[in-house]
Amino acid sequence: MSTTELIEVKPDAKFEDGDRELVEVNGVEVGVLRVDGEYYAVRNQCLHDCGPVAEGAIGKKLVGEFVEPGKRVEKEYDDDEPIISCPWHGWSYDLESGEQLADDDIVLPTYDVVVDDGVVYVDCQ
Amino acid sequence: MLESDETQPRQETLDEYYVIDGDCHYMESFHDVAEYMEEPWKTKFEGSNFDEKGAKQNLSSFFPFSTGDRQAHGKITREHSSYPDEPETPERIRDGMKSIGVDETLLISHLILSGAGTTADDDRQTAFAKAYVEYMLEEVLDPGDGIHGLAPIPYSDVDASLEILDRIEGEDAYVGACFVTAGATPPLGNRKYDPLYERCEELGLPAVFHTGGAGLDEYVRAGYQEMLETHTLGFLESNMSQIVSLVVQGVPEKFPDLDIVFMESGITYLPGLMARLDEEYLKRPEEAPLLEKKPGEYITDFYYGTQPLEVSAETEYLEKCFDLVGADSLMFASDYPHWDYDRPTTVTDLPFLSEDEKKQILSENAKEVFGL
Ligand code: FES
């Protein structure tokens, strides 16, 4: 049976898009971010060499489409796939799943974020 | 002429295995191929400085030649070891196969290897490749007797290359298309070559990328002094640059049914290349957005000719390289009759391969890939 333990972050009303807060969850640092109205929480320790990944640039996944032989591959950013990139060497992770974009066997721990009664919490379960 | 097979050391080992040679060179002469040329090249070829005019075919005025003496300045003395003065004959190929214990062979042009260094125009390579295709078909290839061909693709001229692929459609004697990796600019992952891969895929012809000595003296920078330097580095660089280009530009994703083969750089360079490319890809995957897996995994999907196999390397290291590349991705290649050719014994001697793996490498992979 799992119990829910919520770590308070800050009031929803004060969380602007692009804001991020660091909280401690079970003894590790977790970054809580708001991107395009959605909350995400990831461990602030990059799986490459422990860089502060939660403090890195937010972006979108670049996807390519092979349209036709001989034509340029069409490239565009996928609005539905926000990513975060570690400031040290650029390892990038899907914010939702924590998967490293180049290798989905490498998964940065992610956490559920809940908003309850106007307050943002990290579910540390 | 070569001696008959009875004189070959270790004949009993060679007899034990059915061997398909993924990379053997036909030493075609300019003289013979010229007869199949279209004008104006036929006239130009015939008027070039060959034969009675005193130049040997390896010192042609047609293609530039590259570093060093292949026979190590007189040390390698076997007959027919590299560039014979006399035009090649189909009989000599049969003798050669017999002498090294090969049952079926895939021939590629040796002159097109140096032709790849011709950068002043794309006419000569095209004229040569077209004539070579006809000459070999008419006079040399004999699939019923295990002598198969790879058609040279003068890829700088995409239209001409497509014409060659059209020409060999349905010709059983040609089992693949050969792209010389030396001199390919832009590298072969560029989209301009897509129509060639598309057509090869459609025809079920593997794309065989073969390194070469074209421009070897100054393959990346000028000033090397010995062939030991340029041959060690240049042959690797030519293959590595095209492997990286094909993978990063997503050729295996664009043409998933295309079989890709790389020849003549041994195998120990592959794990290093895979590791380095994967390491970089982890940091910048957005630059290869077509990839669905790590670059190294595409590299092990490709096939590799074994020659020149680094048999003197530490056994554990070589074994690890075989593990990483995979016996299912390797095919024996002799590079006969070039100076650093391998016999099938280079594979049969490896202590860490099972019998099944030896058979896979010596014939089964090639049989499957080339539909033999
Ligand atoms: S520590 Fe994060 S990319 Fe290197």
Give me the residue spans of the domains in chain A.
6-119
Inter-chain CB proximity A73 and B290 less than 8 Å: yes
Q: Which of B201, B181, B196, B296 is nearest to B242 (CA)?
A: B181
Candidate from A86, A100, A106 with most ligand 1 atoms within 8 A of CB, to mutate: A86
Inter-chain CB proximity A73 and B250 less than 8 Å: yes
The Cα–Cα gap between B317 and B298 comes to: 22
Of B191, B284, B289, nearest to A63 by CB-CB distance is: B289
Pairing of strands A99-100, A20-25: unpaired
> Is the confidence at residue A85, as pLDDT, over 70?
yes
Inter-chain CB proximity A91 and B192 less than 8 Å: no
The Cα–Cα gap between B205 and B197 comes to: 9
The Cα–Cα gap between B179 and B207 comes to: 7
Q: Give the pLDDT confidence score for residue B92 in this predicted structure.
A: 86
A114: left (phi over 0), alpha (psi -120 to 50) or beta: beta
The closest residue, in CA terms, to atom 4 on ligand 1 is A89
- Per-residue 3-state assignment (H helix, E strand, C coil) for B114-172: HHCCCCCCCHHHHHHHHHHHHHHHHHCCEHHHCEEEEEECCCCCHHHHHHHHHHHCCCC
CB atoms within 10 A of CB A118: 9
Sign for the CA dihedral angle at B12, B13, B18, B24 comes to negative
Question: Contact at 8 Å (CB) between A95 and A42?
Answer: yes
Q: Which residues pair with A11 in a beta bridge?
A: A119
Residue A62 with chain B: CB contacts under 8 Å: 286, 289
The Cα–Cα gap between B202 and A52 comes to: 49
What Cα–Cα distance (Å) separates residue B183 from each residue in B51, B114, B235? Answer: 28, 10, 11
In this structure, what token pair is assigned to residue A48?
């490459």
Å between A73 CA and nearest CA of chain B: 8
Ligand 1 contacts CB of residue A89 (under 6 A) = yes
Interval A83-95 mean pLDDT: 97
Q: Which residue of B has its CA nearest to A83?
A: B286
Ligand 1: distance of its center to the CA of A101 in Å? 13
The residue whose two tokens read 């014994």 is B345
Which are the contacts of B316, defined by CB distance < 8 A and separation ≥ 6? Answer: none
Ligand 1 contacts CB of residue A108 (under 6 A) = no
∠ CA B220-B226-B227, nearest 5°, is 75
Interval A18-44 mean pLDDT: 96
Q: Which of A114, A29, A34, A91 is nearest to B281 (CA)?
A: A91
- Dihedral, CA of residue B219, residue B224, residue B229 and residue B231, to nearest 10: 40
* Domain A6-119, CATH among 3.20.20.80, 3.40.50.150, 2.102.10.10, 3.40.50.1980: 2.102.10.10
Domain borders along chain B are 29-88, 101-370
In this structure, what token pair is assigned to residue B109?
């042009």
> Is the confidence at residue A1, as pLDDT, over 60?
no
Q: Interface pTM (ipTM) of the complex? A: 0.92
B297 touches chain A (CB under 8 A): no
Question: Contact at 8 Å (CB) between A119 and A10?
Answer: yes
A3 touches chain B (CB under 8 A): no
Query: In the sheet where A119-123 sits, what is the strand order?
Result: A6-11, A119-123, A110-116, A38-43, A28-35, A20-25
Inter-chain CB proximity B286 and A101 less than 8 Å: yes
B73 touches chain A (CB under 8 A): no
Inter-chain CB proximity B289 and A75 less than 8 Å: yes
Number of A–B residue contacts, CB under 8 Å: 49
Q: Which letter, b or e, does each residue of B330-360 get, where b requires 16 or more Cβ atoms within 10 Å of its Cβ?
A: bbbbbbbbbbebbbbbbbbebeebeeebbbb
Q: Which residue of B has its CA nearest to A100?
A: B282
B101-370: which CATH topology? Answer: TIM Barrel (3.20.20)
Point out the ligand 1 atom lying closest to the alpha carbon of residue A50: 1
Q: Give the pLDDT confidence score for residue B306 in this predicted structure.
A: 97
Question: Contact at 8 Å (CB) between B267 and B330?
Answer: yes
Q: What is the mean pLDDT of chain A?
A: 95
Q: Which residues pair with B26 in a beta bridge?
A: B109
Å between B58 CA and nearest CA of chain A: 37
Inter-chain CB proximity B191 and A89 less than 8 Å: no
Ligand 1: distance of its center to the CA of A113 in Å? 24
Inter-chain CB proximity A103 and B197 less than 8 Å: no
Ligand 1: distance of its center to the CA of A87 in Å? 7
Q: Which letter, b or e, does each residue of B136-174 get, where b requires 16 or more Cβ atoms within 10 Å of its Cβ?
A: bbeebbeeeebbbbbbbbbbbbbebbeebbeebeeeebb
Question: Contact at 8 Å (CB) between A55 and A44?
Answer: yes
Residue A100 with chain B: CB contacts under 8 Å: 282
Question: Contact at 8 Å (CB) between B262 and B303?
Answer: yes
The Cα–Cα gap between B320 and A37 comes to: 50
Pairing of strands B207-210, B260-263: parallel
- Phi, psi (rounded to 5 degrees) for B85: -75, -35
Sign for the CA dihedral angle at B273, B279, B280, B282 comes to positive
B197 touches chain A (CB under 8 A): yes
Point out the ligand 1 atom lying closest to the alpha carbon of residue A53: 2
Ligand 1: distance of its center to the CA of B246 in Å? 27
Residue B197 with chain A: CB contacts under 8 Å: 69
The Cα–Cα gap between B103 and B275 comes to: 36
Ligand 1 contacts CB of residue A46 (under 6 A) = yes
Question: Contact at 8 Å (CB) between B108 and B88?
Answer: no
Helices within chain B (DSSP H only):
11-16, 30-34, 41-46, 90-100, 111-115, 123-139, 158-168, 194-203, 227-248, 251-254, 269-283, 295-299, 315-325, 345-348, 355-359, 365-370
Which of A66, A94, A107, A108 is the best residue to mutate to test the B interface, defined by the most B CB atoms within 10 Å of its own CB? A66
Å between B189 CA and nearest CA of chain A: 11
Question: HSE-up of B78 (CA within 13 Å, CB side)?
Answer: 15
Q: Which of B238, B288, B278, B293 is nearest to B262 (CA)?
A: B238
pLDDT along chain B (372 residues), means of 10: 56 91 85 86 74 49 55 69 70 89 93 76 88 96 97 95 98 97 92 98 98 79 85 92 98 98 97 98 98 98 97 97 98 91 95 98 98 96
In this structure, what token pair is assigned to residue B282?
């982890």
A62 touches chain B (CB under 8 A): yes
Q: Give the pLDDT confidence score for residue A61 in this predicted structure.
A: 96
The closest residue, in CA terms, to atom 3 on ligand 1 is A89
What Cα–Cα distance (Å) separates residue B283 from each residue in A81, A89, B51? Answer: 18, 6, 56
